[in-house]
């Protein structure tokens, strides 16, 4: 499975790829932030600071996407990566179907 980057618009494609990776990391960091907040070890101040920093980050990424018209590219890169991940997971847990696939080839 290959990631599709539009050759006709290399700048947009490349930037889209980078922003997509940043967005994945951002998503991951946000989830971990929620876990930390729910973990109860942080005080009020830290929670507020963390929340504000994440909102700022989110706004910055949204702005970059809007400025460069990247929404579609980023969405397609992320959904391709999700497909790859899903596929890998499936092969990992269902080695039989993988073997069948190989035999077919």
Partner 1 sequence: MKPERDYGLVDILDRLLNKGLILNADLIITVAGIPLIGLSLKAALASIETMLDYGMLEAWDRETREWYKKQLMESGPHLADGEVVLYKTFGYVWYSQGLISSWRPGFWYVTNGRVLLWRREPEEALFEAFLGEIGSIEARSEIDFGKEREELNLEVEGRIARIRSSDVSEFEDAIRKALASQDIAQSQSCQIRF
- Distance, CA of 74 to CA of 38 (rounded, Å): 30
Interface residue with partner 1 among 11, 93, 103, 104 (CB under 8 A) is 93
Whichever of 9 and 97 has its CB closer to partner 1, that residue is: 97
Angle between helices 95-104 and 71-93 in degrees, nearest 10:
100
Task: Say if residue 35 is exposed, middle or buried (CB neighbours under 10 Å; 0-12, 13-18, 19+).
Answer: exposed
Chain residues 58-87 in contact with partner 1, contact rule CB under 8 A:
78, 81-82, 84-86
Whichever of 48 and 69 has its CB closer to partner 1, that residue is: 48
User: Which residues bind to partner 1, rule: CB under 8 A?
Assistant: 24, 27-28, 31-32, 35-36, 39, 41-42, 45-46, 78, 81-82, 84-86, 89-90, 92-94
């Amino acid at each position: 499975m290959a990631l599709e980057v539009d050759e006709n618009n290399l700048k947009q494609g490349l930037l889209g790829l980078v922003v997509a990776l940043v967005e994945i990391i951002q998503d991951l960091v946000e989830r971990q932030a929620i876990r930390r907040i729910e973990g109860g070890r942080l005080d009020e101040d830290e929670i507020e600071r963390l929340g504000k920093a994440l909102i700022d980050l989110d706004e910055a990424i949204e702005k970059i996407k809007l400025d460069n018209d990247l929404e579609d590219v980023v969405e397609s890169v992320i959904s391709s990566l999700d497909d790859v991940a899903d596929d890998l997971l499936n092969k990992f847990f269902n080695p039989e179907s993988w073997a069948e696939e190989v035999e077919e080839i």
